[in-house]
C-alpha cells in the first residue's frame, strides 16, 4: 500500500501481538490480507492469505506469501486466522464464518474493523458465531478475537458461509432481464446510475476491439454487446476477482451468440493495459479498499486508456462531475468533449490524436 495511505485497521489487527496479549504461531491464515509496516514487523514466514483485489494480491505475491482460494479453504487447519472484514454485511458475515471454519481446535480468530466501517456490528457477529470475544480499541478501530474455549455455532456458521453466495438479480435494464451477482461487489444489487447514463450515451458505431476498464459484473460490456453490432472483440479488465467471475458468467452466452471474442483479465488497470484498442468504455473507481476518495486512480485509468488506444481510438468515460480528470484527459487525448451532464455525473468522449 502506498505510504501516503495509512491502514489503521491493519495496525489495530496486529496490535495484540505487538503488545504480547496474543501469541503468533508458526502458521497463520490472513483473510483479505493487506501489506503494511505492521505486517512486516510481525514477519511473513508461515503466512497464507486470501485477497481478491488484484493490486493488493500482487503486493502479497511479491512478498512470497501463498494466496489461497477464499471459497475453498482447508477446514480446521490454522492455529490463527486473521480477518479484515469488508463493510458489506453479507460479505463480512461469510468471511467471519469461513474464518471460524478454517481455524484449528483451540485456535484463535482475530478481526479488526474501523469504527466508522461497522466495527461494533462485526464484533457482535463474531460473538454470535463463537461465543464470548475479547476486544480492545486502537487507532479508531476495534480489534476482537475468540477465546481458546470458543464453541462455534455450526448451524449459524453454515448459514453465514453462504451469505455472499452468487445469485441472480432480476433487472429490466439488463439484456435478458437479470444478471448473476453476489454481495460485496460494486453495485451488486442494482445497475449503477453512472454506468446506466454512460450506456445510454454509447453510439451504435463502436467497432473492432473494445475494452471495458473496471468492468465489475459486466453491465457496460453487456450494453456494448447489445448496442454495437460492429464490435468483434471485447476485453474486460477488473481488479476484483469476485466481480470478474460474475462478468464471465454474465457475458459468456451473449458474446458467443454474437460471435464476439471475449477475454477477461484479473488486472490492475492503473498498471497499464495492452493495446491496440479501437474503443474503451470506462466507469473508473475513485476508491480503493478504504472510503477516502482516490482521484489518482481515475487519472491512472485515463492514462492507461490513452496508452492502449490506437490513433483515432475513442474513450467513453463517466465520472462524478467534481472529480479533477480534465488535466489527465488533455494530456492523453487530442479531442475531449463533455457530451452530457446529469445527476452529478459527466459523460466524456475523448479521441486519441
Domain range annotation of the chain: 8-161, 167-351
Side-chain half-sphere of 42: how many Cα atoms within 13 Å? 28
Average pLDDT over residues 242-268: 97
Q: List pLDDT tens digits, range 30-76.
A: 999 999 999 998 888 899 999 999 999 999 999 999 999 999 999 99
pLDDT exceeds 90 at position 247 = yes
Give percent of the chain above pLDDT 70: 97
| 47, β-bridge pairs | 28
Average pLDDT rounded to a whole number, residues 344-353: 95
What is the CATH architecture of 8-161?
3-Layer(aba) Sandwich (3.40)
Lookup: cell for 202: 454509447
Please report which confidence band the pLDDT of residue 132 belongs to, taking 50, 70 and 90 as the band edges.
Answer: confident
pLDDT at 191 over 60: yes
What pLDDT does residue 285 have? Answer: 86
pLDDT tens profile 4-40: 457 999 999 999 999 999 999 999 999 999 999 999 9
DSSP states of 245-308: HHHHHHHHHHHHHHT-EEEEEE--GGG-----EEEEEE---S--SSSS--HHHHHHHHHHHHHH
Mean model confidence pLDDT for the chain: 93
Same fold flag, 8-161 and 167-351: yes
Q: What's the pTM?
A: 0.93
Query: Could you tell me if residue 125 is left (phi over 0), alpha (psi between -120 and 50 degrees) or otherwise beta?
Result: alpha
Task: Supply the pLDDT for residue 78.
Answer: 96
pLDDT at 1: 39
Express as a percent the part of the chain with pLDDT over 90.
87
Q: What is the mean pLDDT of residues 121-149?
A: 93
Helix axes 154-161, 89-102, angle to 10 degrees: 130
Task: Choose the CATH number for 167-351 among 1.10.10.10, 1.25.40.10, 3.40.50.150, 3.30.390.30.
Answer: 3.40.50.150
> pLDDT tens digit string along 262-291?
999 999 999 999 989 999 999 998 766 665
Quick: pLDDT tens for 147-167: 877 788 999 999 999 999 999
What pLDDT, on a 0 to 100 scale, did the predictor assign at position 181?
A: 98
Using pLDDT thresholds of 50, 70 and 90, give the confidence band for residue 331. very high
- Whether 2 shows a pLDDT value over 80: the answer reads no
- Say what the pLDDT of residue 54 is: 96
CB 284 within 8 Å of CB 317:
yes
Amino acid at each position: 500500500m502506498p505510504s501516503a495511505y495509512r491502514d489503521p485497521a491493519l495496525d489495530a489487527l496486529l496490535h495484540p501481538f505487538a503488545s504480547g496479549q496474543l501469541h503468533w504461531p508458526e502458521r497463520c491464515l490472513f483473510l483479505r490480507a493487506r501489506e503494511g509496516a505492521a505486517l512486516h514487523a510481525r514477519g511473513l514466514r508461515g503466512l497464507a492469505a486470501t485477497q481478491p483485489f488484484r493490486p493488493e494480491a500482487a503486493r502479497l505475491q511479491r512478498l512470497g506469501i501463498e494466496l489461497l482460494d477464499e471459497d475453498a479453504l482447508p477446514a480446521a487447519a490454522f492455529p490463527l486466522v486473521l480477518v479484515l472484514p469488508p463493510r458489506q454485511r453479507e460479505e463480512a458475515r461469510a468471511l467471519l464464518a469461513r474464518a471460524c471454519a478454517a481455524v484449528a481446535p483451540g485456535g484463535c480468530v482475530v478481526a479488526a474493523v474501523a469504527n466508522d466501517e461497522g466495527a461494533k456490528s462485526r464484533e457482535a457477529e463474531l460473538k454470535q458465531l463463537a461465543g464470548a470475544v475479547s476486544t480492545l480499541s486502537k487507532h479508531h478501530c476495534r480489534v476482537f478475537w475468540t477465546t481458546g474455549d470458543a464453541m462455534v455455532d455450526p448451524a449459524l456458521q453454515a448459514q453465514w458461509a453462504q451469505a455472499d453466495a452468487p445469485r441472480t438479480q432480476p433487472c429490466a435494464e439488463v439484456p435478458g432481464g437479470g444478471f448473476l451477482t453476489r454481495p460485496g461487489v460494486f453495485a451488486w444489487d442494482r445497475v449503477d446510475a453512472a454506468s446506466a447514463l454512460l450506456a445510454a450515451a454509447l453510439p451504435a458505431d463502436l467497432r473492432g476491439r473494445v475494452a471495458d476498464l473496471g468492468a465489475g459484473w459486466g453491465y457496460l460490456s453487456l450494453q456494448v454487446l447489445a448496442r454495437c453490432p460492429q464490435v468483434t472483440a471485447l476485453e474486460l479488465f477488473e481488479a476484483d476477482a469476485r466481480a470478474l467471475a460474475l462478468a464471465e458468467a454474465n457475458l459468456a452466452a451473449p458474446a458467443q451468440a454474437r460471435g464476439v471474442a471475449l477475454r477477461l483479465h484479473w488486472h490492475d488497470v492503473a498498471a497499464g493495459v495492452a493495446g491496440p484498442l479501437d474503443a474503451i468504455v470506462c466507469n473508473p473507481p475513485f476508491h480503493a479498499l478504504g472510503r477516502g476518495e482516490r482521484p489518482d486512480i481515475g487519472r491512472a485509468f485515463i492514462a492507461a486508456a490513452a496508452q492502449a488506444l490506437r490513433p483515432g481510438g475513442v474513450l467513453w468515460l463517466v465520472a462524478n462531475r467534481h472529480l479533477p480528470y480534465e488535466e489527465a484527459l488533455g494530456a492523453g487525448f487530442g479531442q475531449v468533449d463533455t457530451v452530457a451532464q446529469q445527476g452529478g455525473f459527466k459523460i466524456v468522449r475523448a479521441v486519441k490524436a
